A and B are shown apart, each in its own frame.
Chain A
């Protein structure tokens, strides 16, 4: 077992790779009683088309999420039932590139951990269970159809991504559900749910040595073929958008606006700044110019354009950064122009960047108060960088004004896509 210190936070990461290929990441917190375990599969909604053993497989959208629902079915009932008896809360979620099975509890560590492994490695897919879950997932999809904020983002993704499967809903749509068969489910399970393609993260109150012993012992009950290492099929994402603008109407109180900016990573190639640092820089630059302490927010609030701070988020794909800005406003066109104009003329001072670094370092320490946040932070790191960024403290400290300005200068090549939902009359 390896031990690595999280610099600046007085916390330790324990890691271990088991013989079966499963990677384990652990952060202990003995000041509390709770623990949180996630078993993650590097398989999400974007993995619909792949090649494995020389054979091409094409699946409907939503299959990863469908599989996640079915995973809880066991030959002797429902996995939730067992966790309920332990008094634990179990759940799961699917996103673009991961399916995560989680359990949160404060006692019976061994039982919880063993059962999490047991149910995820016990496929039980029959025609009957596949069919009975279809109605439930349909209602889940309709619930999102009735949520304007979700629809707003959903439409933007369909417009900003051309080939990237992020354009499809994680759940798929109702038509996709009808096409999903037991055989497809079995096939993707056998291809992707392999310890080599999975990792476990444990945070909270537990003993790392004991955890490894329990997992090792439990994994012996399952046998695995060698991992086939499927490769994703699909065309690379072009520097284009499907549509620069779309508007629609829904039950909303006032117009909802989202602006997406597609920025090629190639813009920054000549700067020789690492991927991790680039992402931190972009986040800080956007926070300074668009965040709750920005002049822009204050100005638009005092002009009555918005009454809450603009929401912003950054997504990273293989070749692009996708920056989103979102708000509710009665003046969508003004808002869009003002945001575009500000993005084209971003600036910052040495004091701005120092201030935001100081806050980010506090947030890093603060994060360790939540075993869920630590767990999810590690998950993000593994999915994005295939390692845990225990040195992020040092990276933050190396950020500087000069490099930030260079990055701003490289933002000229970009594409916009805007989506607006107006109120029904």
Chain B
């Protein structure tokens, strides 16, 4: 794998040449400070851009064009990472050695046409497409009720105050109603002009040729010099307990842990191992053993470390009569993390994390993520990471455990289950 980074006035170009994949992939990644009132607008815009374009003004027309390019696909996504947006628009196309030589140029041309020539007339997005995306986004926001686990998580984070962490990256229905074809277009102009832009290309293709086309079609011109910070420091709060009833067979419990004043080393390494041992990643975690194996309480129990928010989120679905027991057991696992970690647990967690780091090299999306966050200095290079993980001690984890407090215990209480 051969990596090169090129600096252009409006963007950074990252070229990764590798023969691992038959696919070629280009990612344009936008980054800026999050504004919680614009979360929905950001989602709306990314979906709008990927739906169709000025030259291919319906989804069907765009898809037929992509079929001409041997089934290329264009898609986008926007997520909230700590206190920043990271939004990307991507194209996948088959390596030209299996199709036609001109496919690289054709694909790149179409891709940037999608970004720079949206379906707009007189500074307004096309109203038909606008309404379609609006309804689709409304469904995405409202469909949380169809997934009790997701609903429980959203309700739990919603209890956090004055923090971007409290918001779903989809935003809210009320902010959706405020979006118009006109203000969405202004927002588009703003994003193209003011967001930091990184372009990644990966594949077994001639990168000089790729660079030539991209410098021709990628018309990001503005030089940016404002600060975008990914990390958000959530304040320590007193434990809040909530129970809300919901008609469902299971109860879904979400517990939010706050990680207070961690050092850079702890954020990058120790907290991740802490999470692996508690409930993340591998199957034999403290939570899994305690809730599932020893007490047959649940089918799944997990914890997720949200590095940039400084939070750990624990979720499980249990029998409606076992809510209190489950919460008690989860809390006992959290206590255990401060004094009772075995050598096996820490070694298994290290082994698991290091093995996962090796998977990175085989996964197109993760290769890009890796270079991207290394570039932003929130990740060390792979070799350093492996070495540092190996040296984390039990004491390090106990120290982090001391800095962890419970913010929210939320139960979405089910219990209408009739045995059939």
Q: Is the CB of B299 within 8 A of A365?
A: no
Q: Is the CB of A366 within 8 A of B94?
A: yes
When distances are taken between beta carbons in the complex, the residues of chain A under 8 Å from B146 are 147-149, 251-253
Scoring A80, A84, A107, A175 by chain B CB atoms within 10 A of each residue's CB, the highest score goes to A84
When distances are taken between beta carbons in the complex, the residues of chain A under 8 Å from B296 are 132-136
* From B21, B59, B64, B139, contact of A253 by CB (8 A): B139
Residues 114 to 170 of chain A near chain B (Cβ within 8 Å): 132-140, 142-143, 145-149
Q: Chain B 274-285, CB within 8 Å of chain A: the 1/0 string? A: 000000001110
Q: Kindly state the separation between the CA atoms of A43 and B364 in the bound complex, as whole angstroms.
A: 35
Q: Is the CB of A328 within 8 A of B284?
A: no
When distances are taken between beta carbons in the complex, the residues of chain A under 8 Å from B60 are 292-295, 297-298
When distances are taken between beta carbons in the complex, the residues of chain B under 8 Å from A365 are 22, 94, 98
Stretch in A85-93, A182-190, A224-232, A407-415 touching the partner = A85-93
Q: Does B292 contact A (CB under 8 A)?
A: yes
When distances are taken between beta carbons in the complex, the residues of chain A under 8 Å from B284 are 78, 80-81, 84
Q: How far, in Å, is B377 (CB) from chain A's closest CB? A: 27
Residue of B nearest to A169 (CB): B420
Q: Kindly state the separation between the CA atoms of A174 and B420 in the bound complex, as whole angstroms.
A: 7
Q: Is the CB of B300 within 8 A of A143?
A: yes
Stretch in A47-55, A213-221, A300-308, A315-323 touching the partner = A300-308
Q: Does B398 contact A (CB under 8 A)?
A: no
Q: Does A24 contact B (CB under 8 A)?
A: no
Q: Chain B 281-300, CB within 8 Å of chain A: the 1/0 string? A: 01110000000110011111
Stretch in A95-103, A191-199, A355-363, A397-405 touching the partner = A355-363
Stretch in B35-43, B244-252, B379-387 touching the partner = B244-252
Q: Does A173 contact B (CB under 8 A)?
A: yes
Q: How far, in Å, is B297 (CB) from chain A's closest CB? A: 7
Q: Kindly state the separation between the CA atoms of A260 and B400 in the bound complex, as whole angstroms.
A: 54
Residues 333 to 362 of chain B near chain A (Cβ within 8 Å): 344, 347-348, 351-352, 354-356, 358-359, 361-362
Q: Does B76 contact A (CB under 8 A)?
A: no
Q: Is the CB of A136 within 8 A of B136?
A: no
Q: Is the CB of B59 within 8 A of A139?
A: no
Q: Is the CB of A84 within 8 A of B282?
A: yes
Q: Chain A 322-347, CB within 8 Å of chain B: the 1/0 string? A: 00000010000000000000000000
Known interface pairs A293-B63, A359-B71, A365-B94; A139-B319 also in contact (CB < 8 Å): yes
Q: Kindly state the separation between the CA atoms of A142 and B414 in the bound complex, as whole angstroms.
A: 11
* From A137, A301, A369, contact of B132 by CB (8 A): A301
Q: Does B70 contact A (CB under 8 A)?
A: yes
Give chain B's interface residue range (CB within 8 Å of chain A): 35 or more
Q: Is the CB of A87 within 8 A of B362?
A: no
Known interface pairs A148-B146, A173-B420, A307-B135; A140-B247 also in contact (CB < 8 Å): no
Residue of B nearest to A299 (CB): B60
Q: Is the CB of B352 within 8 A of A136?
A: no
Q: Does B118 contact A (CB under 8 A)?
A: no
Q: How far, in Å, is A249 (CB) from chain B's closest CB? A: 10
* From B22, B59, B414, contact of A298 by CB (8 A): B59
Residues 66 to 88 of chain A near chain B (Cβ within 8 Å): 78, 80-81, 84-88
Q: Chain A 281-300, CB within 8 Å of chain B: the 1/0 string? A: 00000000000111101100
Q: Is the CB of A355 within 8 A of B67?
A: yes
Q: Is the CB of A298 within 8 A of B98?
A: no
Q: Kindly state the separation between the CA atoms of A34 and B360 in the bound complex, as whole angstroms.
A: 10
Q: Does A254 contact B (CB under 8 A)?
A: yes
Q: Is the CB of A292 within 8 A of B299?
A: no
When distances are taken between beta carbons in the complex, the residues of chain A under 8 Å from B417 are 142, 145
Q: Does A31 contact B (CB under 8 A)?
A: yes
Q: How far, in Å, is B13 (CB) from chain A's closest CB? A: 24
Residues 125 to 170 of chain B near chain A (Cβ within 8 Å): 128, 131-132, 135-136, 139, 142-143, 145-148
When distances are taken between beta carbons in the complex, the residues of chain B under 8 Å from A12 are none
Q: Chain A 4-39, CB within 8 Å of chain B: the 1/0 string? A: 000000000000000000000000000111100000
Residue of A nearest to B134 (CB): A307
Q: Is the CB of B98 within 8 A of A362?
A: yes
Q: Kindly state the separation between the CA atoms of A137 and B296 in the bound complex, as whole angstroms.
A: 9
Known interface pairs A84-B284, A174-B420, A297-B60; A146-B148 also in contact (CB < 8 Å): yes
When distances are taken between beta carbons in the complex, the residues of chain A under 8 Å from B23 are 366, 369
Residues 20 to 36 of chain B near chain A (Cβ within 8 Å): 20-23
Residues 287 to 315 of chain B near chain A (Cβ within 8 Å): 292-293, 296-300
Q: Is the CB of A139 within 8 A of B299?
A: yes
Q: Does B82 contact A (CB under 8 A)?
A: no
Q: Is the CB of A253 within 8 A of B351?
A: no
Number of residues of chain A lying within 8 A (CB) of chain B = 62
Q: Is the CB of A78 within 8 A of B293?
A: yes
Q: Does B419 contact A (CB under 8 A)?
A: yes
Q: Kindly state the separation between the CA atoms of A104 and B132 in the bound complex, as whole angstroms.
A: 40
Q: How far, in Å, is A29 (CB) from chain B's closest CB? A: 9
Q: How far, in Å, is A221 (CB) from chain B's closest CB? A: 25
Q: Chain B 103-131, CB within 8 Å of chain A: the 1/0 string? A: 00000000000000000000000001001
Q: Is the CB of A85 within 8 A of B348?
A: yes
When distances are taken between beta carbons in the complex, the residues of chain A under 8 Å from B249 are 142-143, 145-146
Q: Does B393 contact A (CB under 8 A)?
A: no
Q: Does A424 contact B (CB under 8 A)?
A: yes
Q: Does A105 contact B (CB under 8 A)?
A: yes
Q: Is the CB of B348 within 8 A of A251?
A: no
Scoring A294, A328, A362 by chain B CB atoms within 10 A of each residue's CB, the highest score goes to A362
Q: Is the CB of A142 within 8 A of B317?
A: yes
Q: How far, in Å, is B25 (CB) from chain A's closest CB? A: 10
Q: How far, in Å, is A57 (CB) from chain B's closest CB? A: 24
Q: Kindly state the separation between the CA atoms of A90 and B58 in the bound complex, as whole angstroms.
A: 44
Q: Is the CB of B355 within 8 A of A88?
A: yes
Q: Does B99 contact A (CB under 8 A)?
A: yes
Q: Does A416 contact B (CB under 8 A)?
A: no
Q: Does B318 contact A (CB under 8 A)?
A: yes
Residue of A nearest to B137 (CB): A307
When distances are taken between beta carbons in the complex, the residues of chain A under 8 Å from B300 are 143
Q: Is the CB of A107 within 8 A of B355?
A: yes
When distances are taken between beta carbons in the complex, the residues of chain A under 8 Å from B99 are 362
Residue of B nearest to A87 (CB): B355
Q: Is the CB of B297 within 8 A of A106?
A: no
Residue of A nearest to B351 (CB): A87
Q: Does A206 contact B (CB under 8 A)?
A: no
When distances are taken between beta carbons in the complex, the residues of chain B under 8 Å from A146 are 148, 248-250, 317, 414
Residue of B nearest to A293 (CB): B63
Q: Is the CB of B58 within 8 A of A298?
A: yes
Q: How far, in Å, is B250 (CB) from chain A's closest CB? A: 5
Q: Kindly state the separation between the CA atoms of A326 and B21 in the bound complex, as whole angstroms.
A: 33
Known interface pairs A136-B299, A301-B59, A359-B70; A106-B64 also in contact (CB < 8 Å): no
Q: Does B2 contact A (CB under 8 A)?
A: no
Q: Is the CB of B299 within 8 A of A140?
A: yes
Q: How far, in Å, is A34 (CB) from chain B's closest CB? A: 5
18 A-B pairs with C-beta separation under 8 A = A80-B283, A84-B282, A87-B351, A89-B282, A106-B362, A140-B299, A147-B146, A148-B146, A293-B60, A294-B60, A308-B139, A328-B139, A358-B70, A359-B67, A359-B70, A362-B70, A365-B94, A424-B247
A87-B351, A136-B298 given; name 18 further pairs at CB < 8 Å. A33-B358, A34-B362, A84-B348, A86-B351, A89-B282, A135-B297, A139-B298, A142-B317, A142-B417, A145-B250, A146-B250, A149-B146, A253-B142, A297-B60, A302-B128, A307-B139, A308-B139, A365-B22
What are the 3 tightest A-B residue pairs by CB atom distance, in nearest-first order?
A135-B296, A87-B355, A142-B249
